[in-house]
Structure 1
Amino acid sequence: MGALSGLKVLDLSRVLAGPWASQCLADFGAEVIKVERPQSGDDTRRWGPPYMADNHGDPTQESAYFASTNRGKKSVCIDMHSDQGQQQLKALATDADIVIENFKVGGAAKYGLDYQSLAAINPRIIYCSITGFGQDGPMASRPGYDFLVQAMGGLMSVTGAADGEAGAGPQKVGVALTDIMTGLYATIGILAAVNERHQSGLGQYIDLALLDVTAATLANQASNFLLGGKTPTRLGNAHPNIVPYQSFVVADGHCIVAVGNDSQFQRYVEVLGLAELAEDADYASNEQRVLNRDALVPLLQRRMLDKGRDQWLAEFAAAGVPAGPINTIDEVFEHPQIIARQMKIDVAHPLNDSLTLVANPIKMSRTPAEYVLPPPMLGQHTEQVLAMLCSVDDGR
């Protein structure tokens, strides 16, 4: 029995933000029915290569992208443009706790699947809408995509090399972080509404916008502007509020140093053979190091060139200085810490007995995440789920 066992989710969303939320719920035991278009399904089924290999090592038509965000769900093909399909979806919503959708604003109402319509037949329904810009405001009707919103929401303005450096210019994050964070906020909002329902007995409507989430997750950068009055700029791999907290070039590549307090800085410069810097009034405190970064960082960088990555990292580890390599993704999944934390899982798929996926990072002591169902094949559970509807209608 998972932590969310007993919750039923009707997932009308596609691509990433909504499916990320429903996958999180499924990992902890919620029953998730993923509704897909007949024949084509979720757009991400075709977002490849790469595609999952079958038991013989041959590629299938199941994309790696789709597999990353749809485990634990039942796939049901329903044509919501048809009267029959709309009735089937309303019947599923009658028995559901949660609905997740990412139609354009007003899109669900065309099918009678908006919150007001479904709450009328199921007042306990918790209904989460995910859009680019929210349900109101001057841009509400416009479509929104992660890349677009990373740019509009300011994230790209603080990501990338600083002006004047090689390769300078705004950059998007290497994964669709706005979509993923929106999925996580959706999960939080849904579970908050579930808890409130214990008191009120009623569901409620959740309005989530990618742009809002991007603004919220600017975190200290937003606060630096709102409280400090200065617009943040790109600093490459440096930190706006902590120095040194960045990458350095070493004799054979790069490594990261993440000095978070003054005692760590003292140990760091001792390892470098520059212990006198910790006594210098310009560098003794983090505040002074931030103000004087342009003078300090070149001193550190010159010394970092004296040795290779692994030698520096061994010396930093011995001295208790936070530092690490810049791993490639293959190195990440070969890392002993990732292996020890069981962040790779194998799930049996109808076409691949040992499909490897990334685990949920939440480690719960009594009700851990479980991976009962693989990412479903298109329409794999249509007959099963619709047969259950018929049984309910027949009183069986």
Structure 2
Amino acid sequence: MARIVFPVPPVDSEQTRSFRTHASYIRAFRELALGESALPLEDAVVGLHASAAPLLFRPDGPPRSCDREQLLACLRRAWATARLLEHTHALAEDSEIIRLANSWGAVQTYYVLYGAAQALMVAEGGTRPQSHEPTKRRYVDLWTSRSLHIAPWTVAATSPGDRLADRDGFLGGPGRALDLDLHPWVAWQGEQAWDIAAKALRSTRQLLVETRLAGKRREKLAAKKKQWRLDQEARTASSRKPAVEPRTVRLTAAEREAATDAVRPATMADYLYRLRVKANYEDVTVFSDGPSSDREAAEVGADLVALASATLLVHELRIAAIIGSDDLVKAMDAVLLHTCGESTGGLAHRRDLHARLP
């Protein structure tokens, strides 16, 4: 079976530790989507199409009306971003440039999902969200709040108290207890992709929780300062000694629990957004300085390309069920007229698969 191994580099820097962790997370999502990475991408995409089409391509009558112009604009942005990702990886794969390419590859993979998800939202009759948070929030309704089970898109980390979650606090899980103690650097394989992906989602949701808790502390401190100012007026009027202005507050256990439970589920959209922020703002050197070899960097690049292609495919299938497969294929053909050197598993390949739909 395919195994993932990240050799320990001579210098265990912060960038290297971060890179190894995220490389493992990315590989886990890729394997949940397309199976073991030893399989050629073209074959993996064919397999995903065969297994996903019966679940996702379910026309419920004549093609529905929606804002076709907006829908196609979203799709074209996603397709163009995927092509940039694919061609950059192909050109940089055998050189040290792959490290720099992966920094943008992480950003581009998120924007592929962003555009594809918005296209599906429009296809279903909604309006296109104008920013990241509304898109990620609606992504939960788009995939995890339905009766679909197609990992990794329908998997989410939520509060353990959620009535629909399993005992580990996950939606759309594998139906078994998850090993959340499994370290992402170990030589994991097969079904353990679920455990590693779960760790990625759990840690991503924890960041959302910490942001919410920080906001609640700010709110509580603001309220406390407001009350302090009112008290000061009363103290001044009665010639009493001024009280010390509050500087910090603590949330009670009940307040922390309520705030934590109110945080929405975290999906792969949230993880890819987290990766985008890390690669583009927080730590731009994680992909350039983190890999212990160019080969390790190239493997991550290939996983990003594969995950982007798989993400487009599942969204395209659901869109085809709404607008009709013929219209989807025509839209793809219009783009392919101006495309050359299409990569394996890319737009032209998926177009041929969709053309076989009824």
TM-score (norm 2): 0.23
More relative contact order, 1 or 2 (CA 8 Å, 6+ apart): 2
Give the structure with the higher percent helix.
2
TM-score (norm 1): 0.21
Tell which structure's C-alpha radius of gyration is larger: 1
Give the structure with the higher percent strand.
1
